[in-house]
Amino acid sequence: MQISIQRIDLTLPLPEYQTSGAVGFDLITRETTIIEPGKIGLVPGNVIVKVPAGTMLIITPRSSLPRKKGLICPHSIGIIDQDYHGEKDELLVQVQNITNAPVTVERGERIAQGIFVRIEKAEWQEVEGHGAETRGGFGSTDT
């Protein structure tokens, strides 16, 4: 898959897949960012990506982020739409500091990864019911 990508800071490398089996590419942070305790911050990912038609781009934290940095992504994942590629649409990683001290994300660090996923758009067909027995609602398999 060919992807159009624009770097903001040309001295930083393009995102990379770290192994031949990796499904996600690592984003490189463009500038050092300090996130205060309990606060949410946006870490610039240095790239604007044109997501191809029929796909979406998911931005997700690297699995080591909470353990190594004390940061989580409060929205779990970020979804980058096909029309998010304007001149001010740099990929940003939203993180929350869950520690009691300021956390510094250094320029050039890898804290998130991107994954391209093929999608289809739903065409709604409204019905009166589905003709199936009710399972019992949310959490019903826990009882």
Note the pLDDT tens digit of each residue in 47-62. 999 999 999 999 999 9
Residue 78 is predicted with a pLDDT of: 93
**Distance of alpha carbon 71 from alpha carbon 29, whole angstroms:** 14
Q: What are the domain boundaries of the chain?
A: 4-120
Residue range 5-32, pLDDT digits in tens: 999 999 999 999 999 999 999 999 999 9
Is the distance from CB of 60 to CB of 24 less than 8 angstroms?
Answer: yes
Q: What is the mean pLDDT of residues 84-91?
A: 96
Q: Which amino acid is at 135?
A: R
What is the total residue count of the chain? 143
4-120 adopts what CATH topology? Deoxyuridine 5'-Triphosphate Nucleotidohydrolase; Chain A (2.70.40)
**Could you give the percent of the chain with pLDDT greater than 70?**
97
Q: Is 141 helix (H, G, I), strand (E, B) or coil?
A: helix
- pLDDT of 140 > 70? The answer is no
Question: What are the angstrom distances between the C-alpha of 58 and each of 8, 40, 61, 111, 115?
Answer: 20, 19, 10, 14, 5
Residue 35 is predicted with a pLDDT of: 98
- pLDDT of 142 > 80? The answer is no
Q: Which of 58, 74, 71 is nearest to 106 (CA)?
A: 71
**Distance of alpha carbon 29 from alpha carbon 21, whole angstroms:** 23
